[in-house]
Amino acid sequence: MNPSLPSKLNMKTPFGSPDFFQAFSDKRSWEPGWMADFRKDSWNRFAALPQTKIKDEKWRFSPRARFGYSNCDQLTDSPKSTTLEGKSSEQVIFESFDQAILDHPNLLSILPSLTGPKLGSDATFLLGSSFSESGFIFKAKKNYKEEEPFICKHFAPKQNHSLFQQNIVIVEPFAEVTLIEYFDSEDQSSTGVLSNLSHIQLGEGAKLNRVVVQRLNSHSTFNHLEKVELGRNAQFTNVSLQLGSAQTRVESRGDIIGDAGEFNNYSLSLGRNNQLFDQRTIQHHIAPHGKSNLLFKNALLDNSKAIFSGLIKVDPAAQHTDSFQTNRNLLLSKKAEADSLPGLEILANEVKCSHGATTSKIDEQELFYLQSRGISKSIAEKLIVLGFFEDIIGQVSNVDLVESLRDEVSQFFNT
Amino acid sequence: MIKPSNIEIDREKGNFHYPTSKYAFDAGVGLSEDVVKYISGVKNEQDWILDFRLKAHSIFEKKPMPTHWASRDLENIDFDVIRYYLAQGQQPSRTWDEVPDDIKKTFERLGIPEQERKFLAGVEAQFDSEAAYSRMKEDLEKEGVIFVGSTEGLRDYPEIFKKWFGKVIPTSDNKFSALNSAVFSGGSFIYVPPGVKLAQPLQAYFRINAENFGQFERTLIIADEGSEITYMEGCTAPKFETSTLHSAVVELVALKGAKIQYITVQNWSNNVFNLVTKRAMAEEEAEVRWIDCNIGSRLTMKYPGVILKGRKARGEVLSIALANDGQHQDTGAKMVHAASETTSNVIAKSVSIGQGRSSYRGLVQIPGHLEHCKNNTECDALLINSDSQTDTYPAIAIQGNENSVQHEASVSKVSAEQIFYMQQRGLNQAEAMSLYVNGFVNDLIREFPMEYSVELKRLIDLEMEGSVG
């Protein structure tokens, strides 16, 4: 390994080696020059990342080593990494990353200007920018409205492989669409790292409903980085189900750039064994009259652990902001752990902002009530957890989808 | 619409100082091993204390500033221009008449002897590095209550104080606890024997008089089994051109069934860096309450904590912070649950005025092997002006399915509707604002002793004067 590399974190991955990057670049020599430059620049920035500090607030409570790439020695070459389903029309572009490089290079040319969520995973962001070979590009043109959801299925790579994905979602003014993303593993036993970068931009009055269902196998690592930018009167609603993986790091940023943008972020995590859910979020109000609402619920069995670190940031110009952030943790075993870091930074005074965080166990009375009706304890617990998650799943407006999401959670208890 | 502006805090009460050129002991400017040895020498300390100080000094030198999470304003502290020890060679006087004239003038102007006569069981008044006056009611002395300064405490009662000194807050806890451990002087060492319940509070009064002076008092309170004590401290300093540093370490030990109530009204002038480490240890069924009011200083960083070490111990922090122009009140609470059935409660209210900034930082920790632990945290922030700022950064680490915590924080502004309602009833706008802010902090102010709560209400009224244009 090259001894001149500055960061300990980089040292642990072959992706930091100049030879590795060169070989990768040679393989991608068919790409346009600006893309090659972008990869080169990202990789140089990765190699120049400073020594990782031991005490980094963005990684507080996190067993950071679990998110490294030390177990990976190559990039996956599976053609199956993303599949797309959805009505094609002139009003919409929905293509895989590689296809879009050929068909819509202008859409991808914004990549060098994108910054990601900036919530701690700089290394993953830069590696993703250097090595992404899959992902998807979605663009809904102005005034396009479609109720039928667009679906993207992402697949985590094989044993010792890493997969980096770039997704760009652009919803033009007054378009209204639904996007569902599934994250699955190719098989049930292999360890692999799936790192997913999403850039979502909503124009004036645009509306995007997005659902994420993550059910990777219990050995995988999942890095999920996203940044959402909302224009004037734009509305974004996200509902995430984090069910699988050995460890998941979510970094989600919602920037309200236009007047009266509305950002809603709902997420549930259901953990068992040694599962780790490390979630970092920010609701950043830059423009006035914005609304944001965030609700993250974690139910934790066995030795599982969840970290929630959220920040509501209200800039001085963002007067008349309504912003809420809630984290609820349900601990179902003695060894389960929930760490909450709910934060507020408020620089405007005409605002309504609050956050709440609670951590507790199942209410004995609720359990007793169900048991006294002849329901076994384990089923009663399952019902209570399903009930606990209902206000996340209930945010999805499509009735069929709601039913299938309930099944996803319910399924978890049957396996 | 209300247009509040320029709320002035009444810090004038403490804004005077008497030039004192005749300090008999002066450790000079800047910090070095020699300064540490000088302080120890002046105090004629035993070797173990000098060793403790020197070790602390080397830890202080090694520790970085905590700017990876704290305010960058810390970088403006210049440790090389601070004077670390200044005293007139005063021994704490037992009667008011013996106090040197210039010091007496200071405290009389602040109303100390008056307060003592009124309702206190004992008073200590610290002027720069050393106590100038210390007296306690005789009957308490007969019961075995000890109320002395840090030097006397370690010299005259080592069997009581040495055991706990530096144990609740280790020297290496943070950079400023290390600094304090190296150069500490003054403060109160208090021991309350088993079963003794003090009906009236003990009080200490801290005063910085000299420019560029750093005050590093050290307080250790031990409440033996079943005893009860209330301790109050007040702080003021004159407004100098340059900033000063106040960095105290306060350790409380509540043994089985003991109750300690620690009340602070901090009204330093707004060029004082107030970086204080306060922590209590509560044994079985003991109760510790920190009641904290921060009005003054340029930057306060203070997170009173309770380590709930014994079963059924209870910890509480009630905190009020007012941040005006040029001020940053970075306060909070730490609750470390280390035994089952322990409970803790944190209620923090802050008001940011003008360009003031108030922050809440908290820590609640409950490991999984414990059962039936509970924490409740509430933080409410009120923003008065459009350029006021407030932040909340709690950290809650919970394991196990037998504990419960809840945390809630809200940020709001003065409600125009409520102000309008009060104006309709004949109050002018300034009175309405005053009433509103008083109402916001009222449930906490009630927890302060009567004399203090009256004073605090008056302070808030004064601040709100001229707050509306």
Contact B279, B306 (CB under 8 A): yes
pLDDT digits (tens, 9 = 90+) for B295-309: 888 999 999 999 999
**Which segment of A30-44, B230-244, B253-267 scores lowest on mean pLDDT?**
B230-244
Both tokens of A347, joined, read: 């620089």
Classified as helix, coil or strand, B91 is coil
- Kindly indicate the confidence band of residue B467, based on its pLDDT and cuts at 50, 70 and 90: low
- Kindly indicate the confidence band of residue B120, based on its pLDDT and cuts at 50, 70 and 90: low
Is the pLDDT score of B143 beyond 50? yes
Instruction: Read off the pLDDT of each residue in B400-427 and give the average, rounded to a whole number.
Output: 91
Could you identify the residue written with the tokens 């990353």?
Answer: A97
Mean pLDDT of chain B, nearest integer: 86
Q: What is the pTM of this model?
A: 0.88
Q: In the prediction, which pLDDT does B3 show?
A: 44
**How far apart are the C-alpha atoms of B25 and B44, rounded to whole Å?**
13
Question: In this complex, which of A53, A337, A359 lies closest to B68 when CB atoms are compared?
Answer: A53
The residue of chain B with its CA nearest to that of A337 is B399
Residues in a beta bridge with A345:
A313, B391
**How far apart are the C-alpha atoms of A81 and A83, rounded to whole Å?**
7
Q: In the prediction, which pLDDT does A259 show?
A: 97
> Which element (helix H / strand E) includes B389?
strand B389-399
Classified as helix, coil or strand, A397 is coil
**Which segment of A61-65, A87-91, A228-232, A403-407 scores lowest on mean pLDDT?**
A87-91
Q: In the prediction, which pLDDT does A219 show?
A: 92
Q: Which of A283, A274, A273 is nearest to A310 (CA)?
A: A283
Q: Do A347 and B389 touch (CB under 8 A)?
A: yes
The residue of chain B with its CA nearest to that of A302 is B400
- Chain centre distance of CA A12: 24
Q: Does B400 touch chain A (CB under 8 A)?
A: yes
Residues of chain A with a CB closer than 8 angstroms to some CB in chain B: 53, 55-57, 60-61, 316, 319, 329, 331-362
Three-state SS string over B316-354 comes to: EEEEEEEECCCCEEEEEEEEEECCCCCEEEEEEEEEECC
Q: In the prediction, which pLDDT does A2 show?
A: 39
Question: In this complex, which of B389, B400, B407 lies closest to A346 when CB atoms are compared?
Answer: B389
Contact A328, A298 (CB under 8 A): yes
Q: In the prediction, which pLDDT does A372 show?
A: 96
Q: In the prediction, which pLDDT does B199 show?
A: 85
Classified as helix, coil or strand, B70 is coil
Distance, in angstroms, between A52 CA and closest chain B CA?
Answer: 13
Q: Directed axis angle between helix B175-183 and helix B33-42, to 10°?
A: 50
Report the relative pairing of strands B389-399 and A337-346 from DSSP bridges: antiparallel
Distances from the Cα of B403 to the Cαs of B31, B74, B317, B340, in angstroms? 46, 37, 20, 9
Q: Which of A11, A9, A14 is nearest to A66 (CA)?
A: A9
Complex ipTM over 0.90: no
Q: Where are the beta strands (DSSP E) in B202-308?
A: 202-207, 214-215, 218-223, 228-236, 244-246, 249-254, 259-266, 272-282, 287-294, 299-302, 305-308
Distance, in angstroms, between A56 CA and closest chain B CA?
Answer: 7
Q: Does B395 touch chain A (CB under 8 A)?
A: yes
Q: In the prediction, which pLDDT does B14 show?
A: 65
Question: In this complex, which of B368, B392, B399 lies closest to A343 when CB atoms are compared?
Answer: B392
Question: In this complex, which of A336, A347, A359 lies closest to B396 when CB atoms are compared?
Answer: A359
Let me know how long chain B is: 469
pLDDT digits (tens, 9 = 90+) for B23-43: 778 888 889 999 999 999 999
Cβ within 8 Å of residue B252, ≥6 positions away: B168, B220, B221, B223, B260, B262, B278, B279, B280, B281, B288
Cβ within 8 Å of residue B163, ≥6 positions away: none
First to last CA, chain B: 11
Q: In the prediction, which pLDDT does B116 show?
A: 61
pLDDT digits (tens, 9 = 90+) for A88-144: 789 999 999 999 999 999 999 999 999 999 999 999 999 999 999 999 999 999 999
Could you identify the residue written with the tokens 């963002």?
Answer: A318
The residue of chain B with its CA nearest to that of A360 is B404
Q: Do A339 and B398 touch (CB under 8 A)?
A: yes
DSSP classification of residue B24: S
Q: In the prediction, which pLDDT does B18 show?
A: 64
Is the pLDDT score of B109 beyond 80? no
Q: In the prediction, which pLDDT does B117 show?
A: 58
Of A369 and B129, the structure prediction assigns the larger pLDDT to A369
Question: In this complex, which of B394, B404, B410 lies closest to A354 when CB atoms are compared?
Answer: B410
Q: Does B406 touch chain A (CB under 8 A)?
A: yes
Distances from the Cα of A15 to the Cαs of A9, A79, A163, in angstroms? 11, 20, 12
Distance, in angstroms, between A112 CA and closest chain B CA?
Answer: 29
**How far apart are the C-alpha atoms of B397 and B370, rounded to whole Å?**
13
Could you identify the residue written with the tokens 């919803």?
Answer: A171
Contact A169, A205 (CB under 8 A): no
Instruction: Read off the pLDDT of each residue in B261-280 and give the average, rounded to a whole number.
Output: 91
Q: In the prediction, which pLDDT does A1 show?
A: 35
Phi, psi of B329 (to 5 degrees): -100, 100
**How far apart are the C-alpha atoms of B118 and B121, rounded to whole Å?**
9
Q: In the prediction, which pLDDT does B7 show?
A: 42
- Kindly indicate the confidence band of residue B136, based on its pLDDT and cuts at 50, 70 and 90: confident
Q: In the prediction, which pLDDT does B2 show?
A: 44
A193, burial (CB in 10 Å: exposed 0-12, middle 13-18, buried 19+): buried
Of B352 and B19, the structure prediction assigns the larger pLDDT to B352
Q: Does B396 touch chain A (CB under 8 A)?
A: yes
Q: In the prediction, which pLDDT does B232 show?
A: 87
pLDDT digits (tens, 9 = 90+) for B44-85: 999 999 999 999 999 999 999 988 888 889 999 999 989 899
Instruction: Read off the pLDDT of each residue in A17-33 and give the average, rounded to a whole number.
Output: 93
B456, burial (CB in 10 Å: exposed 0-12, middle 13-18, buried 19+): buried
Is the pLDDT score of A10 beyond 60? no
- Kindly indicate the confidence band of residue A5, based on its pLDDT and cuts at 50, 70 and 90: very low
Q: In the prediction, which pLDDT does B385 show?
A: 83
